Amino acid sequence: MIDYLIRRLVGTIPVLLAVSLFVFLFVHLLPGDPARLVAGPDATPQDIAAVRADMGLDRPLVVQYLRYLGQTVQFQLGRSIKTHQTVAELIGERFMPTLLLTVFAMVWSVIGGVAVGVLSGVKRGRWQDQLAMVLAISGISFPGFWLGLLLIDLFSVRLGWLPTGGYESWQSFVLPAFTLGTGVAAVMARFTRSAFVEITAEDYVRTARAKGVPERLVVWKHTLRNALIPVITLTGLQFGFLLGGAIVVETVFAWPGLGRLLVDSVSYRDYPVIQAEILLFSFEFVLINLIVDLLYAVVNPEIRLR
């Protein structure tokens, strides 16, 4: 297991380096002088010169990249063009709301999605299955931002039960987390169902039934436990979907998180913030997938031996 852990950790490093290289080159890919772009539209020539010296733009690209890496590791991510705060500060303020939102969304969508998927698998072909799968394909096709607006319209504007947006109390989490998790729950339900149905066809499940194991045990012990293994991997992949979805859902609910910061920064061309945010989101995604892979290896010893 330790061996596998080390191999996977080492294997992640090139991906992280490549992602950071992409993000580093980002500002250089933009048309025009990177120093001028980073300094912002109102910068004086002195400001631009200062930024150029600060970014080391006169040095070779390789040296610049290594400097960028060094600064990133120390969380020196530059300053926002718009607010002049340090990017690390800005991101620090916005980090928790997004983390909480995605975690709540993930928790409900995994529990809800797996439960619906298992129900569908057990009742295969019956009305419960058909209803669940109609809901699931609809959930995948439903635009999250529209769902958010519909929920606001019903629960906030008409019924007045929940706030339309903001980040104050537990009530303000309900609608955004539900909206964000819907797509993932739908994917989870479909995937769990197909994994469940596949395992049900296995010989050992038939054997268990044939020797008279009670149906409840067949479902819980023989089928579900094995069906959940691929579901774990999917959970990691779906987390990326959630991070992306948070960008849109935060805009709908005026949520003070990283997603809305990113959208605002893109509209304002606040490149230092954009660069840092893209890096952060990608690192988060890569690391979550690493954790999921490790969990997967804990559950399924076969993986470790490869």
Partner 1 sequence: MSDVALATPTIRSPSAEFWRRFRRKHVALLSGGVLLLLIVAAAAAPWIAPYGPTTPDYDSVLAGPSWQHLCGTDTFGRDIFSRILWGGRISLTVGFVSVALGGLAGVVLGLVSGFFGGLVDGFIMRLMDVLLAFPGILLAIGVVALLGPGIDNVIYAIAVFSVPVFARLVRGSTLALKQTLYVQAARSIGVRAPMLMLRHILPGTLPSVIVYCSLRVGTSILTAAALSFIGLGAPPPSPEWGTMLAEGRSYLGVADQITLFPGIAIFVTVLAFNLLGDGLRDALDQKLR
Residue 69 within binding range of partner 1, rule CB under 8 A: no
Q: How far is the CB of 217 from partner 1 (least distance, A)?
A: 29
Cα three-residue angle 61-91-149, rounded to 5 degrees: 120
Q: Output 134 or 299, the one with its CB closest to partner 1.
A: 134
Site pattern 149..188 for partner 1 (x: CB under 8 A): xx-xx---xx------------------------------
Unique residue bearing structure tokens 């890496």: 69
CB of 48 to partner 1, least distance (A): 20
Site stretch for partner 1 (CB under 8 A), options 38-46, 142-150, 196-204, 293-301: 142-150
Residue numbers 236-295 binding partner 1 by CB under 8 A: 239-241, 243-245, 247-248, 251-252, 262-263, 266-267, 269, 271, 274, 278, 281-282, 284-286
- Shortest CB 69 distance to partner 1, Å: 16
- Judged by CB under 8 A, which stretch of 14-22, 104-112, 213-221, 291-299 contacts partner 1? 14-22
CA dist 74 → 34, 61, 171, 210 (Å)? 22, 20, 37, 62
| Rounded Cα–Cα distance for residues 283 and 22 (Å) | 12
Q: What is the DSSP string of 139-166?
A: HHHS-HHHHHHHHIIIIIIIS--S-SS-
Interacting span for partner 1 (CB under 8 A) from 26-34, 38-46, 166-174, 296-304: 26-34
Given the structure tokens 């690209």, which residue do they identify? Answer: 61
- Amino acid letter for position 271: Y
Nearer of residues 153 and 202 to partner 1, judged by Cβ: 153
Phi and psi torsions of 278, nearest 5°: -60, -40
> Which is nearest to 37 in space by CA: 265, 283, 277, 280?
265
From 1, 6, 7, 22, residue interacting with partner 1 (rule: CB under 8 A): 22
Quickly tell me which residue has 């067949």 as its tokens: 218
131 interacts with partner 1 by CB under 8 A: no
When the beta carbons of 116 and 152 are compared against partner 1, the nearer one is: 152
DSSP one-letter string for 48-77? HHHHHHHHTTTS-HHHHHHHHHHHHHTT--
Contact status, residue 171 vs residue 162, Cβ threshold 8 Å = yes
Binding site for partner 1 (CB under 8 A): 14-15, 18-19, 22, 26, 29-30, 137-138, 140-146, 149-150, 152-153, 157-158, 239-241, 243-245, 247-248, 251-252, 262-263, 266-267, 269, 271, 274, 278, 281-282, 284-286
